[in-house]
């Protein structure tokens, strides 16, 4: 009887292993695809804000944006030699 129980246990573990492995593969693929899409889009659509007189770019809620707030892409801000604000620490 003991041998039968051991064989059943081995079969059960084998099925579980294969089943879990298949599930893991599926769940691994989706985040990878989503992450890939996000990484491709993010640098293009990252938005920062500059001021008329300042030489720094800021996040939307930064205190330095009270006087003027001009929406630009991060790429554009870098091209125009704006630097990241030290207070709100926007994307570099």
Residues 61-90 touching Zn ion, rule: CB under 5 A, are: 62, 64, 85, 87-88
- What is the side-by-side order of every strand in the sheet holding 47-50? 70-73, 47-50, 56-58, 83-84
CB 54 → Zn ion: shortest distance, Å? 9
29 contacts 43 by C-beta, under 8 angstroms: no
48 binds Zn ion (CB under 5 A): no
CB 80 → Zn ion: shortest distance, Å? 16
Which stretches of the chain bind Zn ion, using CB under 5 A?
58, 62, 64, 85, 87-88
């Amino acid at each position: 009887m003991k041998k039968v129980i051991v064989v059943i246990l081995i079969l059960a573990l084998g099925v579980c292993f294969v089943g879990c492995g298949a599930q893991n593969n599926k769940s691994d693929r989706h985040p990878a695809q989503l992450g890939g899409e996000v990484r491709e889009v993010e640098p293009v659509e990252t938005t920062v804000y500059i001021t008329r007189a300042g030489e720094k770019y800021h996040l939307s809620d930064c205190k330095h944006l009270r006087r003027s707030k001009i929406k630009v892409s991060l790429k554009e801000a870098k091209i125009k030699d704006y630097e990241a604000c030290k207070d709100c620490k926007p994307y570099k």
